């Protein structure tokens, strides 16, 4: 019997197939999900389900659907989908949802992202612990295998998803742009032609040059994880060689989007957060914008300059979404290139963020490197991971080395060191790692501070 505590974590289900996560486990989770929703006061008649391009997806979905049916609920199966396409279905249909994906993880993994009606997340503080406990009990009960009536409806929502996104950002009037998109053999290869191309809607002033659009969950070209710089190299080279205006890289389930300028250099997710925040504040003056504590100091500065109210949050989608709902924030952004929108049910969507970037960039004449410079005010290290035997001791050593710094503990420890420089050090929830992010006014100061902290962390 599988130990579900190994695969059901703080935000989602994720494990290797079939040893940790298989059809028996998926069926139990399907039943447990419906039972959890009922226990919380809902009466779920239907669950909407989608899956990414991983080979194990259809079998896991079918098993999960049997579990949902056994619990007395019906299934709407939207088939192949990006995660934000599943969120669209959950939001527009006002149904609970289950997205089968392992995001950017390697090919042997699969998982589930669960949500309540309206794409509201299910995490460890909002029902996922109950799902794990119920599913574990079902796996232990040999008499819990009876199937209910087969109630599964197949429904294609790709065109409706594309039309909804097009209704939120008008790209019809921008200048012509040559855009290279690296889908990493993930779901961007399925959704980009529908949203940014002319597959289902009228053509836009965009010439889309595809890289690795073939759906292939074995990731034959590179991992679909744009957060790792080595996975951006193909896109960077293509942008430079083909003279493109902009490059876009999506992760495996296409809920995150990274941006490359015409020189092949990355535009930081903090700059994208600030840019999109300015656009949303132009539409909704005075609104609240959420940013996590790892984003650049430029983000709250630009939000205030544009008349908005910045609110600082812990890292992680469940915290961002909860803070957005509590404050009715119009937008939220993270350093990891997750972007959240009030007009998309407070859910994250890399595609909508990309459309905002294309609209802003295409509405003015400068090359992207010059246009983005307005939002890139400081030098940042990016996230640096260090394997440590005793994270608590290493954090204490860093704190002792900076006795004059102002420190807060919203998420790990954030040190303000007196000259506008800051760094955050936080422990991984799942691995023996410390994660370091550093920012300073210039690259030399950033490098000096980064190396000083790393020397202590790594002993």
What's the CATH architecture for 176-263?
3-Layer(aba) Sandwich (3.40)
Global pTM reads 0.95
| Domain positions in the chain | 4-156, 176-263, 269-375, 379-458
What's the CATH architecture for 269-375?
3-Layer(aba) Sandwich (3.40)
CB 257 within 8 A of CB 355: no
Helices and strands in the chain, H and E counts: 14, 23
Provide the residue-wise pLDDT of the chain in tens; the chain has 459 residues: 578 999 998 889 999 999 999 999 999 999 999 999 999 998 899 999 999 999 999 999 999 999 999 999 999 999 999 999 999 999 999 999 999 999 989 999 999 999 999 999 998 889 999 999 999 999 998 666 677 789 999 999 999 999 999 999 999 999 999 999 999 999 999 999 999 999 989 999 999 999 999 999 999 999 999 989 999 999 999 999 999 999 999 999 999 999 999 999 999 999 999 999 999 999 999 999 999 999 999 999 999 999 999 999 998 887 898 899 999 999 999 999 999 999 999 999 999 999 999 999 999 999 999 999 999 999 999 999 999 999 999 999 999 999 999 999 999 999 999 888 999 999 986 678 999 999 999 999 999 999 999 999 998
For 106, counting Cβ atoms within 10 Å of its Cβ (0-12 exposed, 13-18 middle, 19+ buried), the class is: middle
CA dihedral over 229, 233, 234, 240, signed as positive or negative:
positive
Q: Which CATH number fits domain 4-156: 3.90.850.10, 2.60.40.10, 3.40.250.10, 3.40.120.10?
A: 3.40.120.10
Residues assigned a catalytic role: 103
User: What pLDDT was estimated at residue 250?
Assistant: 98
User: What pLDDT was estimated at residue 145?
Assistant: 64
User: What pLDDT was estimated at residue 377?
Assistant: 96
User: What pLDDT was estimated at residue 197?
Assistant: 97
User: What pLDDT was estimated at residue 143?
Assistant: 64
Rounded Cα–Cα distance for residues 72 and 233 (Å): 49
Report whether CATH 3.30.310.50 matches the domain 379-458.
Answer: yes
User: What pLDDT was estimated at residue 362?
Assistant: 98
Domains 4-156 and 176-263 share a fold: yes
DSSP assignment string, 263-288: TSPEEPHHHHHHHHHHHHHHHSTT-E
Rounded Cα–Cα distance for residues 106 and 352 (Å): 25
Rounded Cα–Cα distance for residues 135 and 46 (Å): 19
Rounded Cα–Cα distance for residues 336 and 348 (Å): 12
Task: Name the token pair of 127.
Answer: 């029902």
Q: Which residues contact 242 (CB under 8 A, 6 or more apart)?
A: 178, 180, 209
């Amino acid at each position: 019997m599988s130990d579900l505590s190994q695969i059901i974590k703080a935000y989602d289900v994720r494990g290797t197939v079939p040893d940790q996560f298989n059809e028996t486990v998926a069926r139990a989770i399907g039943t447990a999900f419906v039972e959890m929703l009922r226990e919380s006061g809902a009466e779920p008649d239907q669950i909407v389900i989608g899956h990414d391009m991983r080979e194990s997806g259809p079998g896991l979905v079918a098993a999960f659907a049997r579990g949902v049916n056994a619990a007395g609920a019906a299934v709407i199966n939207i088939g192949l989908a990006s995660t934000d396409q599943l969120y669209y279905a959950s939001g527009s249909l006002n149904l609970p949802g289950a997205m089968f994906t392992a995001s950017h993880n390697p090919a042997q993994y699969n998982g589930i992202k669960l949500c309540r009606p309206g794409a509201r997340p299910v995490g460890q503080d909002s029902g996922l612990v109950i799902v794990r406990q119920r599913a574990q009990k079902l796996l232990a009960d040999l008499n819990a295998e009876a199937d209910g009536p087969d109630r599964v409806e197949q429904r294609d929502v790709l065109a409706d998803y594309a039309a909804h996104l097009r209704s939120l950002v008008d790209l019809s009037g921008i200048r012509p742009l040559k855009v290279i998109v690296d889908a990493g053999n993930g779901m961007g290869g399925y959704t980009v032609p529908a949203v940014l191309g002319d597959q289902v809607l009228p053509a836009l002033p965009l010439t889309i040059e595809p890289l690795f659009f073939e759906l292939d969950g074995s990731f034959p070209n590179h991992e679909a994880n744009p957060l790792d710089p080595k996975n951006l190299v193909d896109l960077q080279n293509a942008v430079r060689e083909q003279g493109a205006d902009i490059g876009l890289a999506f992760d495996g389930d296409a809920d995150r989007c990274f941006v490359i300028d015409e020189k092949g250099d990355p535009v930081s997710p903090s700059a994208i957060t600030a840019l999109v925040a300015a656009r949303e504040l132009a539409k909704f003056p005075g609104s609240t914008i959420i940013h996590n504590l790892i984003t650049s100091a430029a983000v709250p500065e630009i939000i205030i300059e544009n008349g908005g109210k910045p609110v600082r949050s812990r890292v992680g989608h469940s915290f961002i979404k909860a803070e957005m709902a509590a404050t009715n924030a119009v937008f939220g952004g993270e350093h990891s290139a997750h972007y959240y929108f009030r007009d998309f049910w407070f859910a994250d969507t890399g595609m909508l963020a990309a459309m905002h970037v294309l609209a802003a960039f295409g509405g003015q004449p400068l090359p992207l490197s010059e246009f983005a410079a307005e939002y890139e005010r400081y030098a940042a290290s990016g996230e640096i991971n260090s394997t440590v035997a005793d994270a608590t001791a290493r954090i204490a050593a860093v704190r002792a080395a900076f006795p004059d710094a102002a420190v807060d503990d919203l998420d790990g420890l954030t040190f303000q060191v007196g000259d506008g420089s800051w760094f955050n050090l936080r422990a991984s929830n799942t691995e023996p790692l410390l994660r370091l992010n550093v920012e300073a006014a210039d690259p030399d100061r950033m490098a000096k501070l980064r190396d000083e902290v790393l020397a202590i962390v790594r002993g």
